[in-house]
Structure 1
Amino acid sequence: MPDSQMQSSSSTLSADQDVPEMEKPTAGDIYGEDDSDGVDNGDGGEIEKQTQDLEKGPSKHAHPTALNWDGPDDPEDPHNWPFGKKLMHIIAPAMISLTASFGSSVISPAFPTLQKQWGISSTVAILPLTTYVLALGLGPVIAAPISETYGRRIVYLVSNPLGAVFTLGAGFSQNIWTLCILRFFAGLTFSPALSIGAGSNADVVHTKNRATASAFYILSPFLGPALGPVIGSFVTVRKSWRWTQWTLIFFAIFSFILTLLTHETYKKTLLLRRLKARGLPPPPSPFPSTLVKFKFFITVTLIRPVHMLVAEPIVGFFSLYVAFNFAVLFAFFAAFPLVFESVYGFDTEQTGLVFIAIGVGCILAVPSVILCDIFIYQPQYRASISAGKGGVVAPEYRLFPAMMGSVGLPLGLFWFAWTSKQSVSWASPVVAAVPFAWGNLSIFLSAANYLIDTYQALNGASALAANGLLRYTLGAVFPLFTIQMYKGLGIGWATSLLGFVTVALMPVPWVLFKYGKQIRARSSYDTLKV
């Protein structure tokens, strides 16, 4: 996933900077986000300096003029497209992201079937989920430079069918290891939408109107894992486990059809095509050599995120918090069947329906984040505009959804832990999953906003990459020991252990709200100075 993302005054993952296209590499170039229509926060010089540090890389004098639209009303600018056309370009990436995340969990109801068919342990049966989730975190590394070079639409058109092909092979697998390998490559090829989908969203929606569109887009990859077990349980019981993969292919086909109805939205790609159509030469590359460009991508996509994860307290602690919550969500794919089948005698289909509660919690997080944006962040934004500060707002105003969500996580986990018993109705632990899912997505959305507002453009994208790296790694690993933990500790104490960890991590957004400015001031990276 869903690895997604928000920006500036309206919750979209792009920085508030007005950086001329092609003058220097930006976060939009690397992570598929448009940072061209926001507020100039004055940190472009530092980003440029860091870029040039890569073997004296691109110079700010690489070209004399900026590559830009003819004016604010240019009809070819996706921001000026009709509403219906914009909506289509929001729905298509959201559907692809839903497909990618749906593929992670749709196979989870088939674990017992795989055990019986191939005579494997419960841990080995979970590996097809683990390899897929791990690949979701690696795919963006490949997608980012391709998207920056060729545009977004070609990535969607190529990656989605490739994912379907590998899924087709997975469905015909004759042993667990073939299934694991093909599932890995399916996740790898489905995943690019998770990294560039928010960029497509930013391409067509102006900053000031982006909160609602972004929140609904980011909901899609979170709904996928909740929807997967619901559908997967029915097709596994009534058809076979192979139909979990055929179902994923149907989702991919529908997503592909939607993509065929879309157009390119990436600003740089559109402008370069227009230059070619007008018979004009393209601007010179900001990179003096292919080696420098390669070093730049390696630094931004791999080295810098890892460095920020260990060297930046804000990135490290917030990423750990988000990653743990995400990992618990994936642990439930193994825990829910164990709990509801052993305690309440649910069958596979009934257990799958329990995951609807996760979806309900995720849906409730969207209005929570939007309301915080409307009543807390937007007044600060308008005040900044009125004061002549260009709309710059302290990132800490992004933290209110996380502070609220931090209460929902332990509430849901402890509620689930001690009501999952025969003397209590099954409805109680099911409902307990709602505040957990609500808190989980609220914290993720808030964290993404906070990181990009704090570190801005290039460094903000690296901070989010660090977050995604840790999130998908833990999400892949947790299901492997969940069953052993629940059998060894019992349902109450196993779930409570997870709850205690969320309590220990609960202060993260609260501490950042109170001391964030001082912590930002000590950062070794350039941060927002408000």
Structure 2
Amino acid sequence: MCINTGTWTPFQTLWPRDSNSRSKQMTSLADDKEVRTKEEVEDITTEDEPEISEEHKQYLIAKHGTYNLVPLPSMNDDDPLNWSNGMKHLQLGMVAFHGFMTTFLTTGMVPVAGVYSEKYNMPTSRIAYLISVQILLVGVFPLIWVPLMERYGKRLLLIISTLGTMCFSLGSVFSNTYGTMMAMRVLQAVLISPGIAVGGSIVNETTFSHQRGSRSGVWAISVNLGTMVGAFLMGFVAQYQDAKYIHVVFTLINFGQAVCYFFFGKESSYNHNDLSRNESNRFKQLRFKAIFPENHITIQKIIYPGIFFSNLRIFIPTFAYSVCFLQANIALNIEIPEVMVGKFALGPQALGLQFLSFIIGTAIGEVGGYMSDKLVAWGQGRGRGPSFRLWLTYPGFAACIIGLVVFGVQIDAANTWNVTPLIGCALAAFGLQIMTSPIIAYCIDMDHKQAGAIVLFITAVRQTLAFIGPFYFPVMYSNLGFTVSYGIMAALIGGLSFIPTLVLHITAARNGK
């Protein structure tokens, strides 16, 4: 079964969607120059070009400056590939911010973990479940949301997502018991969850292959930054206002998201085979009309991303990245209240400021998206495949390992607060981010037709591992201490992330992939 992401054009059989395939074809021509006549080479080159009309070529040149594009757009202004760059950036910006909010809402409660511990008369470790439950749900529920979007489109459902989240954010303001707060947090996560997965599909529907790494990076860095900025900014709110005002801020932001989707959103799902299914009027798009009626919502489709467990070229980098996310993000991010509050008695504002180190490291690490596209473009000219992106993961693994060791050693050695443990946090955040965009882009390169399902798979694996971690982290810290605990985490990255990725890279490079 194949999930239709709405980006596959009628010209797919005429022009390879994978730019690496074209590189191989041209390399083959070069290798055969000695045995072919000039006329034969010209004939083959002509056959490899897209068989489109001169009118279509001129249309694409006027729109994009060239018709040599992958994937090849249709000759229609409503095709998302033909939108203006301004419109594409606007849609990417809104869905990237939606992804940002999925993790922002999760960690926004980190600075008030101590406050709620006193309010509900519970240990901080139990309050942490209000945070960790969202980590799991935002990874799992897109498995339901995305099949709906693959049938009905994205814009209307994203509006419903943000309005529903707003309602439960408002409900959190008036929650005075642990059970009520947990219910609000669960429902909030269910409603906001599509933002963490649908960004990859929208990037795939609106961009060309040579833009995919950097555009995926915008969405990916937004998701990663949300985990840090939520705790950072809400620390200031909690320092000067009652903890409930954190949820007031969430409510207002969710309302703003819904308004932006309503007035500025545009449907990126586009049915190339049945143009009558596409609605160009943005307000008429706000009704349930199947854009892809053939995409039935079934149990098989919901669990479909699970097939990638058997595809090692996708599973290995996904698992490697997820292990790094668990150790270099969750083990530092979610557990900072447990570590910092207990060891240094930090207040909400001081606790939030610790996350500035993550923000700095992540922002610098986003160079990975830009470098990924540049590396692939350079490699394609030399007959290299998509695995060339994986070179950028190695400095990422190294930075994560060093960062975890530095944090563990320095937090154990510190008797009073100092900045050295945060240097480890910044290094780990840098390492995680520099590998994020290349790994996502590489996995999508393996099968562009299933970009949406691949991103769902990556998200579900990452968030499931991230949910499991907080259950055993406190036990590790109390029994082994921080130095040994974070040393073990660094070793796990070496054994479960670096080595499998290296083996995959060597194998793929030998096969020219």
Q: Deviations over 1:421-457 (max 9, x none)?
A: 2379722111211121111122332222222222442
Question: Does the residue aligned with 1:369 lie in a helix, a strand or coil?
Answer: helix
Contact kept, 8 Å, 2:124 with 2:338, in 1: the verdict is no
Q: Deviations over 1:313-359 (max 9, x none)?
A: 44444333222222231232343234334545533311211111111
CA distance in 1, matches of 2:127, 2:200: 33
- Alignment match, 1:320: 319
- Alpha carbons of 1:126 and 1:361: their partners in 2 closer, same or farther (altered >3 Å)? same
Gaps of 5+ in 2: 19-55, 64-75, 282-288
Gaps of 5+ in 1: 1-23, 43-68, 385-392, 522-528
- Alignment match, 1:17: none
CA distance in 2, matches of 1:104, 1:284: 32
- Alignment match, 1:8: none
Question: Does the residue aligned with 1:237 lie in a helix, a strand or coil?
Answer: helix
- Alignment match, 1:51: none
- Alignment match, 2:347: 347
Equivalent positions of 1:342-381 (< 5 A) are 342-374=342-374, 376-381=375-380
Tell me the CA shift for residue 165 of structure 1: 0.7
Question: AA paired with 2:359?
Answer: G
- Alignment match, 2:275: 271
- Alignment match, 1:59: none
CA distance in 1, matches of 2:472, 2:388: 37
- Alignment match, 2:495: 504
Question: Does the residue aligned with 2:141 lie in a helix, a strand or coil?
Answer: helix
- Alpha carbons of 1:208 and 1:450: their partners in 2 closer, same or farther (altered >3 Å)? closer
- Alpha carbons of 1:169 and 1:431: their partners in 2 closer, same or farther (altered >3 Å)? same
CA distance in 2, matches of 1:443, 1:209: 17
CA distance in 2, matches of 1:166, 1:271: 38
CA distance in 1, matches of 2:222, 2:485: 29
Equivalent positions of 1:78-477 (< 5 A) are 78-259=80-261, 260-268=263-271, 271-273=275-277, 287=294, 293-295=296-298, 298-302=299-303, 304-309=304-309, 311-328=310-327, 329-374=329-374, 376-383=375-382, 394-420=385-411, 421-422=413-414, 426-458=418-450, 461-477=452-468
Q: Deviations over 1:337-391 (max 9, x none)?
A: 34334545533311211111111121112213312421x210233456xxxxxxx
CA distance in 1, matches of 2:290, 2:114: 58
Question: Does the residue aligned with 1:478 lie in a helix, a strand or coil?
Answer: helix
CA distance in 2, matches of 1:89, 1:276: 15
- Alpha carbons of 1:243 and 1:425: their partners in 2 closer, same or farther (altered >3 Å)? closer
Question: Does the residue aligned with 2:414 lie in a helix, a strand or coil?
Answer: coil
- Alignment match, 2:28: none
CA distance in 1, matches of 2:201, 2:280: 24
Question: AA paired with 1:490?
Answer: G
Question: Does the residue aligned with 2:265 lie in a helix, a strand or coil?
Answer: coil
- Alpha carbons of 1:133 and 1:342: their partners in 2 closer, same or farther (altered >3 Å)? closer
Tell me the CA shift for residue 469 of structure 1: 1.8
- Alpha carbons of 1:429 and 1:127: their partners in 2 closer, same or farther (altered >3 Å)? same
- Alignment match, 1:40: 16
Q: Deviations over 1:195-220 (max 9, x none)?
A: 22232233333333343333122211
CA distance in 2, matches of 1:359, 1:170: 27
- Alpha carbons of 1:173 and 1:330: their partners in 2 closer, same or farther (altered >3 Å)? same
> What TM-score do you get using the length of structure 1 for normalisation?
0.76
Contact kept, 8 Å, 2:106 with 2:131, in 1: the verdict is yes
CA distance in 2, matches of 1:84, 1:452: 24
> What TM-score do you get using the length of structure 2 for normalisation?
0.78
Contact kept, 8 Å, 2:147 with 2:302, in 1: the verdict is no
- Alignment match, 2:26: none
Question: AA paired with 1:377?
Answer: V
Range 268-277 or range 242-251, more displaced: 268-277
The CA RMSD over aligned residues, in Å, is: 3.2
Question: AA paired with 1:135?
Answer: L
Count of equivalent residues: 447
CA distance in 2, matches of 1:81, 1:312: 34
Q: Please point out which of 474, 481, 495 is paired with 2:472.
A: 481
CA distance in 2, matches of 1:208, 1:41: 11
- Alpha carbons of 1:343 and 1:26: their partners in 2 closer, same or farther (altered >3 Å)? closer
